[in-house]
Structure 1
Amino acid sequence: MAHPSQLGFQDAASPIMEELIHFHDHALMIAFTISTLVLYIIIVVVSTTLTNKYILDSQEIEIIWTILPGAILFMIALPSLRILYLMDEINDPHLTVKAIGHQWYWSYEYTDYQHLAFDSYMVPTQDLTPGQFRLLETDHRMVIPTETPVRVLVTAEDVLHSWAVPALGIKMDAIPGRLNQTAFMSSRPGVFYGQCSEICGANHSFMPIAVEAVPLEHFENWSSLMLEDA
């Protein structure tokens, strides 16, 4: 999860998030190079007397500043389109979970199981135990197996919501009457926190998301216990 004074992204917990971090670093270096070059040109222009009309009206310069931005956009577009394709690609998911946004909590339905569904509410501050995080912990976490393709169907019951978990590289809008889908695979065990990322009302900041990734055998034990309780 995020921590105070953090400057970068959260540690990646999925292959997609690793790709997004690499693309961010790639684009940031391009932006840094452009900024440095522009600053250098400004300093040179300010500190010298460029009065030669052949320099100011050079056809070669015009060709360079036309082709160079196109090449830069090409360098950014290719990896960007590749990641967009990877994020939209959903091949044979092993588990499907339906996330439903409400004012102001989330409901989860495991569509591969009968009667495995529950609501997930934020744990009030006074009920937190040592080690739990204020405004992020929930009474029921969405539990998934690690290294397993998971499809998440996202919708809403009342108003617009957004199901977002930064460490997993996921942000999908929840729209009433519409079923959006996304997919991810957790590459390591852990608890990954997120929040509704669409301003959905007075308690918008009090509907967190907690995704717990566990080994497959632990997930099977958890699902069996949940089905028994149901």
Structure 2
Amino acid sequence: MAIMARGVAALAWLAALAGLASAQEIDHAGPLPWEMKLQAPATRVMEFITWFNWYTLVIITCITLLVVALLGWCIYRYRASANPVPSRVSHNTTVEVLWTVLPVLILVAIAIPSFRLLFGQYDPAKIYEDFDPQTTKFLTMKVTGYQWYWGVEYGSDEDSVSFGAPAEAVSFDALIVPEDQLPPNGIRNLSVDNPIIVPVDTFVRVQVTGGDVIHSFAMPPFGIKVDAVPGRLNETYFKAEKQGVFYGQCSELCGKDHAFMPIAIHVVSQDQFRQWASAAGTDLEGAYKQLTRAIESEKKNTNVAAR
């Protein structure tokens, strides 16, 4: 009943959220109909993942073409009509060295960037050359997966407060907006009533856990996917380098409404985040409306300056 009541109350500012989504237009900020490639990256980690995807695709394509060419050559060269007496050669040192050394070199060529990417998903120093763990500050937020929505809490630690987060933690739940209640700019099965707001060009630490069963917090444009396990706190990070609205979903089968646990993250300027965070502690609805007005005003000023 509490969830239903909170969902009804959320309808009061769905129009404001629609304005927020439309005000932050960005190319490929989410999945597109019939899209067959990876989503456009919004973080350096996702840029690395996209590059590595094409890198390995080129390698395996070359391997496939080589194998097909060799098979075709062998079929033609050693056909029965051209070789009535089959060769009985059982060893060839050169060939044996080649088919041992070449696969090893190929695996090494794949492994080196692969391990860098694997470690870089949890250690920013592997991806960001200028990252200094002693001086870099993180905005911390805790995300809890429930059946079938997400609970979000912003940290009140010193680093988070320095970005504008209130000294007292801000927390809210993010539920899917039903299709019959979608605002004009809403996206079916992806829009939520309370999106996560984060500042651009800021390291964000995400602590993930589960409140009932195992879920998975996945945001493809950021290149992150973390299991939400009850009783365990998993951690990852991201640094969004583009402003806009980005979407993810629960990626762990968690029950009948698993397909209806979207994640919406709105990346805004640092000043806009400070304004939103300062108001969100006491008036979440008003904070979203204020943020929408700020984004629309900035967009109008940009359009005027471009003329």
RMSD: 1.3
CA deviation after TM superposition for structure 1 residue 52, in Å:
3.5
Deviation by residue 1:68-104 (Cα, 9 ceiling, x = unmatched): 1111100000001111121111544420010000000
As a proportion of its length, which structure holds more strand? Answer: 1
Specify the code of the residue in structure 2 equivalent to 1:42.
Answer: L
Can you list the C-alpha shifts for 1:19-75, whole angstroms capped at 9, x where unaligned? Answer: 111111111100000000000011011112174344x63111011001111111000
Equivalent residue in structure 2 for 1:191, among 245, 248, 259:
245
Residue 52 of structure 1: aligned partner: 87
Alignment of 1:170 with 2:245, yes or no, is no
Q: TM-score, normalised by structure 1?
A: 0.96
Separation of aligned partners in 2, 1:157 and 1:45? 60
Partner in structure 1 of residue 95 of structure 2: 61
What letter matches 2:150 in structure 1?
Answer: W
The reply to whether residue 77 of structure 1 matches residue 131 of structure 2 is: no
Matches within 5 A, 1:86-165: 86-89=120-123, 91=133, 92-112=136-156, 113=166, 114-165=168-219
Partners of 2:260 and 2:61 lie apart in 1 by 37
- Counterpart CA distance in 1 for 2:72 and 2:240 is 48
Q: How do residues 12-51 of structure 1 correspond to structure 2 at under 5 angstroms? A: 12-49=41-78, 51=86
Does 1:222 find its partner at 2:276? Answer: yes
2:262 to 176, 191, 208: 208
SS in 2 for 1:85: helix
Partner of 1:26, secondary structure, is helix
* Partner-residue secondary structure (3-state), 2:226: strand
Alignment partners' CA distance in 2, 1:9 and 1:198: 19
Shift of 1:226: 0.7
Question: Separation in 1 of the partners of 2:217 and 2:113?
Answer: 25
Task: Specify which structure has the higher proportion of helix.
Answer: 2
Work out the number of aligned pairs and report it.
229
Taking the aligned partners of 1:155 and 1:213, their CA distance within structure 2 comes to: 22
Q: What is residue 4 of structure 2 aligned with on the other side?
A: none
State the 4+ residue runs in structure 1 displaced beyond 4 angstroms: none
Q: Distance in 2 between matches of 1:214 and 1:189?
A: 5
Write the distance in 1 (CA, Å) between the matches of 2:223 and 2:255: 24
Secondary structure of 1:88 counterpart: coil
Unmatched 5+ stretches in structure 2 = 1-29, 125-132, 157-165, 285-307
SS at 2:46 equivalent: helix
SS in 2 for 1:228: coil
SS of equivalent residue, structure 1 residue 32: helix
Deviation at 1:4, TM superposition (A): 1.7
Percentage of matched positions with identical amino acids: 39
Structure 1 spans left out of the alignment, 5+ residues: none
Deviation at 1:155, TM superposition (A): 0.3
